[in-house]
Structure 1
Amino acid sequence: MFKKKPDIKNLSPLRSSDRRKLADQIIHDYAISVPEQQAQAQAQAQAGDDASTPQVTLSSPRASLLPESTSSARFTTTSGPNLAPVSGTIYVGTHPGQDERILWFQTGKNPRLIPTVYTLWQNPGVLPLLHTPDFVVDEKLTHGSDLMIPGLVKAKGTQWDQRAATGAVVAVAGIRKDTVPLWVGTCEVDLRNLPNDLRGQKGVAVKGLHWAGDEAWGWKPLGSGGREAPDGIEGWQGLTHDITAAVDQTILADDRDEGQGGAALDQSSTGPGPEGNDQIVDLEDLEPTTKEVDAAFHQAFLFAVHKAKASNPAPHHGFDFPIQPSYLISNMIQPNLRFQNQHYNIKKSSWKNVKKFIKHLDKTGLLKSKDRSGGETVILDIDFDDAQVTGFRPYTLPKPKATASDSGADKARASDASSSSDPSIGQKVTIQTVYRASSKLVPTLLPSKTEFYSAQQISAALKSYIEAHPDLGGQGTSSIKLDPFIANSILGSNPSQDDSKPLAAGRIARGALQRRVLEDTHLCQPYHMIVRSSATSDAKPKAGPAPQIHLTIEKRTGTKVVTKVSNLEPFFIDPQVLAPELQKKCAGSASVGQISGGKPGLMEVVVQGDQRKVLISDVLAKRGIDAKWVDITDKTKPKKK
């Protein structure tokens, strides 16, 4: 919900009475067990309900849930793929020794308050705690995806939390930090009725509302930036000691269900673990340290330079300078990594982004880089004679995992299935412009005002009219005389046009007359048809000139540059399908949202960096889009004075 930054109004302190009512509502809604109440019940039982038994207050749990300094404010934001407007109330408070943070939020007309991770870290057991593999948390949930049923993990021999009914608010943790909630959502299904073996199950299990890393997590009164999650929290129910201790010795079978935004896991046991307990899942690969990721990226760069030097002539050995950051990651680093799994990405390195990685390579003397005005860092040259390159020894790159579909026919089917996932790849697109004639041209020049005519047909009709009237000729064929039809119906059709010269001369050039007919919307109204491959019979003319794909490069938050792509739908390109490809190809985050000020349903893709070259020459080109159909606006350039 807080993927986009909310607009928060002025904070106002809660009255003590309102704070107590809200805290009591939270205790009731989430059936929170209050230790003081249990102690009071025991004391009353021992004293036989003696009226002199001291009463125990709820001040401590109330203060833990809603600190005495709590303030509230209204907020508005947008959420979901269509950027639906969302409004509600946030509750901000300070836990002992911590900064002021958003602790609870409420949306719409639903009176139920939803806790943030800061509240969960302070109040163990408030919500049911579910678990999912760490790569699902890192690559799916913290990017705004919902948690799918195949992505759920639990210890064998245990039951799903009985509080996790449909509509219940739940927390989600990874496997390594199994007692630290990092994600909050509401159950879309009754998890209590799920089978123990989730293989083959499909659908959304939990719809995401908030997570560590979103805008609510990063908000604070002065500046921004969230607090890192602790390594462990006593009081939350983990996956049991035996299972978490065995995680580092197992391998995760990656059966991700890519079409559903979650991850399908092989939950069959891999044999008995310590004390006879079965293992729940296998981890895909042991997660490397930051130093190991750094070393892998550095070696991959050397591998790419070594290969280019061995197979291409000097001086540039096949490289086209300057090298963009997206090309560096997608064409030089990723194919040459010693280990090909989700743990080896730039965000897991000490640099965190490509710009700092390039700066690191520059400091080592391997290359020369330059910061462009838009904030992007490019590679200007590579030192192919550096000792690191000349002394590099290639290593064996990992081979793709063999599967049962390695036969030629199966490979072909797999390739077809892959390409069919995005039907716009390989399409042939043509744009045809047609015209409808106004009543001023019918029937003298064209027979009907309801039919559509191409420019060639209108030119041919104009030629036939001139040939049918020999008196219009004279003084060669370059110009013709004006007759009443040409002077009144054509040149007199639009008073805003400057036709004084041909009217005064009594003659007009043939080419000028043809352009006058086609370009004047009072004479010929333009329509367009965007035809995909050979489906001409399905194309219907639409009023107006042919549209263009809009590509905008602009700055955000200072020097950060992004590329926005919109108006893809008329060209049969699905923005939701295009975004993941751009994210991979440009090695930067890509998001899809409702275009600002556009019609509902028209989306735009936003990707980090100046990606116009990648988009036009690669991504859009293979979808049949001609460069002349792309309108580029560069807002990073300084305005001319």
Structure 2
Amino acid sequence: MFAKAFRVKSNTVIKGSDRRKLRADISATFPSLPAEELNELIPNKEELNIVKIYAHKGDAVTLYVLHKNPIFFQLDKQLFPTVYTLWRYPTMLPALVTWPPVLQKLAGGADLMLPGVVVAAEGLPEVDQGDCCAVTLVASRAPVSVGTAAVSSAEMRNSGMKGKGVNILHTYMDQLWAFGDKSHPPVIPVTNSPSEAEGEPGGEECEDEEQEVEDGSHPAPVETSRQSMQELRLDEDELLDEEEPLEDKEGENTDGEDGDPRSPQEQMNELLLQCFLHALKSKVKKSELPLLTSTFQRNHMMSCCPKGKYLDIKKSRYKKLSKFLQCMQKDHSLIQVKELSKGVESIVEVDWRNPELCSFRIPADFEPEKESEEEGGSSEVPYQPPEITPLYGVTARLEPLFQDAQKKKGTPLKANEVRNIITEYVKKNELVHETNKNYVNINPTLCDCLLEKSEYQEVEKLKWDDLFSRTLSRMQACHELLFPGQPPVVKKGQMEPIDITVASRGSNKKVTMIKNLEAFGLDPAVVADTLQHQVQASCVLQDSPGAKNRVLVQIQGNQVQQVGKLLLDRYQIPRKYVQGLDKASKPGKKK
């Protein structure tokens, strides 16, 4: 449920009456919780907040937050404790045990399947279908997931530990966990390790996972658990530091091609930091800030890479540029990164007096690459435009049509996904016309979703193409932006194009204005500098009217033709996303 980011609707301090009601609801839902622990969970005088959110699939959820940590969440009028609460009271819920590698699947949104459950000598905990239960890892009683039992424990045993065991709602390292202080689970030893019960029913179903904990001792499962958590959360520096010894162990007695005893990942980590410090020291100017992170990587870091080497962030421990920059901000205090527009991050501040930056020396053997005169001295690394995918959001009117596919209101879908869902709906309800397969019979649901009121009594069938086009036209327009090295961002509405306009100033002088460059990952300052060199005309940056944190590029004269050539040919922006190319000056006329 919380595998993806959620949207906060409101955040308010709880009232006294609501606090008492919450305490009563918790006591009724979890009767085994002692009164003293209940008072600790819901104190009388400490600030407790109610946060109402919408999960990424549209579910309305209420969070109860104490000391900045969510302690309970309420879904469909049912209360569930978070992992932060269960780490304090691990026996609050009955728990099923699984292997550490399974945690990665749970954090990605998967449910717990019974073949992955480890059955201890005392057997399974007694639960009924729909009961709230927890999931723990071998060698520790600290819960890592919360959900509801898919079937009763008796049915689990009768099925031979086949099928689904727990419908997972919340997991350690998901977005709900990230809403808190991001602390890690404690290691709470168990008296009888579940790994000792490998011969019990359920243990035989996990032969692959048993290879990683076959000795049954406590330290090995704990280390495996940490390794799984590292893979899920690479931006946590503590886990990153723990990961390096594992890499060393794998690369033991294996020198690289250049005789370097370090692993390839360690070498890339060092090269990444070197290029970063080099770029800050010699490339970035204070006047350039704020600077798009993609521009910083493309135009500054890449040009600082030593000759004969290639900077590949995916081969480092960070995997993504955003994770690396977060580490430079959090642990090194070198920069400050902010999201000035949704999905697009920028470096807004650099600590030029940072000791690590001041002490950095540019390598003596560094040979700067020759800059291209045609490109005005910019980096030779080609700009990569974002991938733009049109999406269609499910509306309230169409929700019954997508109910069988479990797509709720607001769910964004691609056109082919919509087509497949509609086709499956027609076939499932046997709506294909008996004599002409090109037509679909209209049932009450299709009538309400796709027809106008004036068509209710007249239209009894539709062609397949008409059926699909009507469905798409009644869905909410959305789009997905995928910038290189960044996670995809879904936004509502059509993709706003780059707008080129020509305006008149005093004495009938023309100026060309370009706006919305940031949406495509282009730095307005870089575009302005490039244009200024190409057309030899003055160029200035201004705040874009009516658009917060957006910059407008203004260049003297009618330069639409030059701007269009730059955007279409060099930056490879699709023509449909460049608006105003028809305003270019006609041949033989003054600009």
What TM-score comes out, normalization by structure 1 length?
Answer: 0.40
Provide the TM-score with structure 2 as the length reference: 0.43
